[in-house]
Amino acid sequence: MKTIKSLMCVLFLSLSLVISAQEFAPVVQNVNNAKDVSELIQVRSQLERFIVAQPQQWLAEYYLAYVDVQLSFRVPDKDDKSKYLSEAETSLNNLTALKETDKSELFTLKGLRLYALIASDPQTNGPKYSGEIINDYSTALGLNPNNPRAVILSTLFNNDMAKFMHQTYEGFQKDVDKAAALFAGENKTALTPTWGKGWVDFALTKK
């Protein structure tokens, strides 16, 4: 009877995971395809429902933070930008406590959030957060040197900084190519973060 009980448990667990994976995959698609604020708010609400249903699932919380950062780039009002970035911070803090969280992806997203903070007010936040961004991206790359998102975002930030310092960032092309290759090899069907290819395209336009 005991074995049957445990078998049932395993069955239930795997079944519920399959359900959530099936339901979650289209939401991730929606995140990647969202083109404007209203679509982002729509997908944000779907993510919130997942989090309430399964608070221990890191991926929904992770994508919620990502969507909030995206919203902060898109909404025009400064107070609204602040609101979304503050929500993203809460989600990132929640993620830190979850065991399953991919720490390399977490630090990459932390860096992106700080980048969004700088974008919202370069004069004040530039000097305040540049050091922390560099630390976040290098921590992400230390945990997984082949994280394409960490590679491209860190490259872009270093390139921006070099430009600001009237210098050139020598490894730029090499790093962009590396990121592009890593994105190309990424398994798009797996339930792991897959966003970020757009930053490579953005980098190629910059050079």
Partner 1 sequence: MKEIFLLIVLLFAGMISSSAQLRTVEGKVLNEQSTTMTNANVFIKGTIDGSITDSLGYFRFTTTQQGELTLCVRLLGYAQLTVQVPETKLTGLVLKLKPDNVTLDNVVVTAGNFRLKGKGQFGKMSAVDIVTTAGSTGDLYHSLRTLPGVQMVGESGKLFIRGGDSNETQTYIDEMHVLSPYTTTGDNIPVRGRYSPFMFEGINFSTGAGSTEYAQGLSSVLALNTKDVSPITKIGMNASTVGVSGGGTQAFDKGSVSVSLDYQNMEPYYSVLPNRLHWINPYQLISGSSQIRFNPNPGSVIKTFIGYNRTTFIQQLTSPDNLSTRNFGMKDDNIYLNSTFQKTTESGYKIFAGAAFSLKNQNIDNAVIQTDTYHEKEWEIHLKTKVTKRFTDFLRLNAGLENFIRHDETGYMYSSTVHTDSINHSISALFATAIFNINSNLYAELSDRMEYTGINDEWNSNPRLALSYNLNGIHFSGIVGKYTQLPENKYLMLNKKLSDEQCTQYVGGVYYEKNDKVYRIETYYKTYRDLALQEPSVLNSDGYGHSKGVDVFFNDRDLIKNFEYMLAYSFNLSKRKYQEYTELSTPQYATTHNASLSVKYSIPALKSILGITNRFASGRPYHDPTKSGIMNSTTGYYNSVDMSLTYLASKKVIIYASASNLLGRQNVYNYTYSADATSPDGYRKTPVIDSSSHFFYIGIFITLSGKTAYDVSNF
Rule CB under 8 A: choose which of 8, 13, 25, 184 binds partner 1: 8
Do 61 and 91 contact (CB within 8 A), yes or no? yes
Give residue for tokens 């490894």: 171
Measured CA distances, 195 to 21, 54, 171, 180 (Å): 17, 22, 23, 12
Smallest separation, CB 181 to partner 1 (Å): 25
Residues 145 to 164 in contact with partner 1, rule: CB under 8 A? 161, 164
Each residue 16-35 as x (binds partner 1 by CB under 8 A) or -, in order, gives: -------x---x--------
Residues with Cβ within 8 Å of 101's Cβ and at least 6 positions away in sequence, in order, are 58, 62, 95
Smallest separation, CB 173 to partner 1 (Å): 20
Q: Which is nearer to partner 1, 68 or 196 (CB)?
A: 68
Residues 87 to 146 in contact with partner 1, rule: CB under 8 A? 87, 89, 93, 96-97, 121-124, 126-128, 130-132, 134-135, 138-139
Smallest separation, CB 188 to partner 1 (Å): 22
Burial track 151-160 (b if 16+ CB lie within 10 A, e otherwise): bbbbbbbbbe
Smallest separation, CB 52 to partner 1 (Å): 6
Q: Which residues bind partner 1 (CB under 8 A)?
A: 4, 7-8, 11, 15, 23, 27, 41-42, 44-46, 48-50, 52-53, 77-79, 82-87, 89, 93, 96-97, 121-124, 126-128, 130-132, 134-135, 138-139, 161, 164-166
